[in-house]
Amino acid sequence: MGNKHKKPMVLLVLALLSLALAGCWDLWEIDDRGIVMAIGIEEIPPEEVLQTQGLERQLIESTNERALKITYQFAVPSGFAGEGSSGGPAYVNLGTTALSSEVRLRGLISTQSSRKGDLTHLQAVVLGPEVCKNGIYCVLERFIRDPGVRRQISIFVTEDDVAQVLDVNNPQEPMPALYLVSLTDNEDWANRMPPDMQLGEISRRIRENAVYVVPRVAAGENSLKMAGGGIFHGDRLVGWLGELETNAYRWIIGEVDTAPILVAAPGSKGPRRTEGYLAENTQSIRSVEIVDGQIKLKVKISTEGTLVERQIKEVVWSNEALAEVKKALANRVSMDTKVLIKKAQEEWRLDLFGFGREVEKKYPQLWKEIKDEWNNLYFPGALVEVDVDVIINRTGTKR
Amino acid sequence: MNSPKDILTSRQLLVILISTVIGVQVFIMPRLVVEAAGRDGWLSLVLGGGWALLAATAAAYLASFFPRQTPVVWFSHLLGKWGGIALSLGFGCFFLFVAAEVLRLFTDMTQTYLLPRTPSEIIMITFLLSIAYVVCHGINPIARVTLIFFLFGIIPSIILIAVFQGKVNFGELVPVLAGGIAPVIRGFLPAYGDFGGWGIIVFLVQFMDTPKEAVKGTAVGMAVIWLFFMATFIITLAAFGPIETQYLLYPVVDLIREMEGVGGFIEKLDLIFLSAWILSVFVTLAVCYYVAVLAISQLAGIKNIAVPVYVGLPLVYLLALLPQGYKAAEGLVGYLNYTSFIFSLSVPLLVFLARRKIKQGGVSDGEQT
């Protein structure tokens, strides 16, 4: 290399070396991150937090705030299955209590955790019944605003102790946070679960002051059960949707993917024999109509599927038998849905199914007048018509 | 007047136009439009985009009367000496402000999502220096860089939005015109403002050897942008609904964050998307700054633009840092929209004047060069 090239080469090397410096100064190594997988939030009586004395007590600015108990589930990377696994637990739960704000609590939890909390991999948030009854917006707001937190975090409610839900010891899935999320994947298989509710969706529903259903989990010995849901209006829990109610609810909102329904087989004697039908393709169209000044809510459900079970010996391949089965199935669905709509109208007085939006679409001017009284007055007073159409495409391997 | 190597083809013009107009404002556009027009925002976009398309095409048509002539010269032909100077200065300052605004919004967004702990000064200075390097060398390198970035940054971003998979409900678009026509009109300005970058056409046609092609290139480019903005708006509305959209600072980024590729296997696409978007912002900023510097240096009769490029950098930097906080910075978008709208109103007037002068034979038209 000639001498005259030396200087530029030195400069080039220096410039290239400086590249290596960039980006390191604010590096946060994966080993140093306390990856929070799930968060459980429950409200507690403020007295538990306000027990401190003297200046500490003074420094807690206000006694008029909500007191929260928050459980953080940290991942323990060495506990994950794999070659480097130490065989220890995959997670550790740390809980702390303070007034109202999760931001304060995060600082507090760092007094216990060996690693600073990092919410970018947060999977699930479990809310306790008390916090839900008193409003979830102020609790979830902090997560919605944080650009590091995904909007797809699944939200659950529980009637049990939140800490217990996050500490379930399931051999199939060692990390409770992932266990919870994997349960939501089954919602197309088991219609007792309401559709997955995510943080972004909830933020939107709260803004719209809508009525929606959040999946409910219950803690068992070494498993969780996700079935039924909490009914929310705006940001408050106002009731519970039972497991079978959830099933009917999904038929109405058209979220049935592969759902079985059962009916009593006609003409069976002794203990009831059943017919099982698996819906494979279901559509539900909700609409409204005004008939003689009366609002009429219409649900048109059409479903196609397979007959998967028939406990009586007679073959189903006859026009009469098929028609009979179809009729029984349609009756079953329409009865279930009607009963649920009736309960929503009379007991909850809440439009769970989004008929209000249909009114807005079709009669925008009318909607402006009635929207404030919709849940209270107009929805409960509306007529209901349910129309179910069942098509049996296949009958499995038997005739 | 310009060095002979400064040649733009109509394809390059098209690519520059698309990459420049799709800048940072598209990220906040759905919020601004929904705030004003609610569900009917897409109608505002139809109007705003249509008007911008007409204005841009008319501007290209106007500029094609004066091949290889800078607007600084023909503005004065049409409007008299002082009117021409005022308009050129107006354009120059407008694009200087646009560059500052783009830089500021981009920096704020980068800090929110990508580089939360990097000081904004560092982001701005590195960005400005790399832009200055390209801009110094004139329109040709800008055009080539734009083409490369178009292929690797902008096309993937457009595809990403086009194939959006997620919970969308196009029923959110109805009822149409439930509040009458007034909200649509209110949404016109924020919708139109999104297309405000079309003004670069006025200054870019001078580099074309066949300026008549510019009209077609501009029309196609604006139509592509129009479609893209409409799609972005409609998908955002369908995903979030008209209420939540108003509360999201960057609705389009949140849209990308809701997205899951390949059945949930790929998540956090926003990081890839935003990184690609840096290239688009680079082009927007480079072209706006170039046009600003070009207008002012041609006005002052400076041949070598390298000096004004470096002199102007601190100005853009200071302007970008001037607003206190994000809210103030975004508030300036409204003023820029107004200014751009006034420019668009001046185009038909200029076309009228130019046609009259040509009829009178008082202006050098195509044949004279």
Distance CA B166, CA B176 (A): 24
In a domain, A5, yes or no: no
Residue B196: C-alpha distances to residues A219, B55, B87, B189, B359 (Å): 57, 10, 16, 10, 31
Residues A266 and A334 in one domain: yes
A360 touches chain B (CB under 8 A): yes
User: String of b and e for A37-60 (b: at least 16 CB within 10 Å)?
Assistant: bbbbbbbeebeebeeeeeeeeeee
Residues of B in contact with A201 (CB under 8 A): 167
Q: For A153, which residue in chain B has the nearest alpha carbon?
A: B258
Residue type, B210: T
CB contact under 8 A, B258 and A364: no
Residues A275 and A160 in one domain: no
Beta-carbon contacts of A88 under 8 Å, excluding residues fewer than 6 positions away, are A76, A78, A79
CA distance B245 to chain A (A): 9
Please report the pLDDT score of residue A231 as a whole number: 96
Q: Structurally, how many domains does chain B consist of?
A: 1
Q: SS3 breakdown of chain A: % helix, strand, coil, rounded to 5?
A: 40, 30, 30
Please report the pLDDT score of residue B271 as a whole number: 76
Task: Find out whether B93 and B292 touch, Cβ atoms under 8 Å.
Answer: yes
In a domain, B361, yes or no: no
Residues A143 and A287 in one domain: no
Distance CA A314, CA A387 (A): 29
In a domain, A10, yes or no: no
Residue type, B110: T
The whole domain housing B186 covers 10-347
Distance CA B229, CA B255 (A): 14
CB contact under 8 A, A152 and B267: yes
Q: What is the CA radius of gyration of chain A?
A: 28
In a domain, A211, yes or no: yes
Please report the pLDDT score of residue B291 as a whole number: 94
In a domain, B357, yes or no: no
Please report the pLDDT score of residue A23 as a whole number: 55
In a domain, A25, yes or no: no
In a domain, A15, yes or no: no
In a domain, A3, yes or no: no
Here the CATH number for the domain that contains residue A385 is: 3.30.300.210
Q: Structurally, how many domains does chain A consist of?
A: 2
B171 touches chain A (CB under 8 A): yes
Distance CA B97, CA B100 (A): 5
Task: Find out whether B268 and B262 touch, Cβ atoms under 8 Å.
Answer: no
Sign of CA dihedral B179, B185, B189, B194: positive
CB contact under 8 A, B267 and A204: no
Residues of A in contact with B236 (CB under 8 A): none
In a domain, A166, yes or no: yes
Distance CA B165, CA B160 (A): 9
Residues A324 and A363 in one domain: yes
Here the CATH number for the domain that contains residue B79 is: 1.20.1740.10
Reading the block at residue A183, the tokens are: 């349960």
The series of mean pLDDT values per 10 residues for chain A, 399 residues long, is 70 74 62 85 80 71 76 79 60 79 70 79 92 91 87 92 89 88 85 90 93 93 91 94 92 81 68 79 91 92 88 83 87 91 94 92 91 91 93 86
Distance CA A316, CA A325 (A): 8
In a domain, A283, yes or no: yes
Please report the pLDDT score of residue B274 as a whole number: 81
Please report the pLDDT score of residue A81 as a whole number: 54
Distance CA A346, CA A306 (A): 35
| Residue (of B220, B252, B321, B206) closest to B29 by Cα position | B252
Residues A94 and A174 in one domain: yes
Q: For A364, which residue in chain B has the nearest alpha carbon?
A: B178
Q: For A148, which residue in chain B has the nearest alpha carbon?
A: B113
Place of tokens 């017919």: A275
Please report the pLDDT score of residue A26 as a whole number: 61
Choose the final residue of a domain: A220, A241, A262: A241
Residues in a beta bridge with B261: B266
Interface of A with B in 131-170 (CB under 8 A): 147, 150-152
Of A201, A208, A357, the CB nearest to B243: A208
Residues in a beta bridge with A274: A264
Residues A196 and A264 in one domain: no
In a domain, B1, yes or no: no
Distance CA A209, CA A382 (A): 21
Tell me, what DSSP letter sits at residue A265?
P
B304 touches chain A (CB under 8 A): no
- Strands in chain B per DSSP E: none
Q: Residue A4: enclosing H or E segment and its boundaries?
A: none
Q: CB atoms < 10 A from the CB of B251, how many?
A: 26
> SS3 for B18-83, per residue?
HHHHCCCHHHHHHHHHHHHHHHHHHHHHHHHHHHHHHHHHHHHHHHCCCCCCCHHHHHHHHHHHHH
DSSP calls for B193-224: HTTGGGGHHHHHGGGBSSTHHHHHHHHHHHHH
In a domain, B168, yes or no: yes
In a domain, B330, yes or no: yes
The whole domain housing A157 covers 30-241
Residue B87: C-alpha distances to residues B81, B90, B218, B268 (Å): 10, 5, 21, 45
Distance CA B292, CA B96 (A): 5
B174 touches chain A (CB under 8 A): yes
Cis upstream peptide for A46 (omega within 30°): no
Q: Residue A372: enclosing H or E segment and its boundaries?
A: none
Per-residue confidence of chain B (369 residues) as pLDDT tens digits?
A: 445 567 888 889 999 999 999 888 888 999 999 999 999 999 999 999 999 999 999 999 999 988 888 899 889 888 888 999 999 999 999 999 999 999 999 999 988 888 888 888 889 999 999 999 999 988 999 999 999 888 887 787 777 777 766 778 888 888 888 888 999 999 999 999 999 899 999 999 999 888 888 999 999 999 999 999 999 999 999 999 999 999 999 999 888 887 765 555 566 677 777 888 888 899 999 999 999 999 999 999 888 888 999 999 999 999 999 988 888 888 889 899 999 999 999 998 999 988 888 888 755 444 433
- Give the ipTM of the model, two decimals please: 0.84
Choose the final residue of a domain: A221, A241, A261: A241
Cis upstream peptide for B251 (omega within 30°): no
Residues A185 and A293 in one domain: no
Residues in a beta bridge with A81: none
CB contact under 8 A, A362 and B113: no
Tell me, what DSSP letter sits at residue B180?
-
Residues A174 and A232 in one domain: yes
In a domain, B359, yes or no: no
CA distance B141 to chain A (A): 23
Q: CB atoms < 10 A from the CB of A334, how many?
A: 18
Order of strands, sheet of A274-291, starting from the edge strand that comes earlier in the sequence: A259-264, A274-291, A294-310, A383-394
Residues of A in contact with B271 (CB under 8 A): none
In a domain, B229, yes or no: yes
CA distance A144 to chain B (A): 10
CA distance B249 to chain A (A): 10
CB contact under 8 A, B244 and A147: no
CA distance B38 to chain A (A): 13
Residues A181 and A298 in one domain: no
| Residue-wise pLDDT tens digits, A56-83 | 767 766 667 788 888 889 888 766 655 5
Residues A314 and A195 in one domain: no
A203 touches chain B (CB under 8 A): yes
Residues A216 and A271 in one domain: no
Choose the final residue of a domain: A216, A241, A266: A241
Q: CB atoms < 10 A from the CB of A340, how many?
A: 22
B40 touches chain A (CB under 8 A): no
Phi, psi of B32 (to 5 degrees): -60, -40
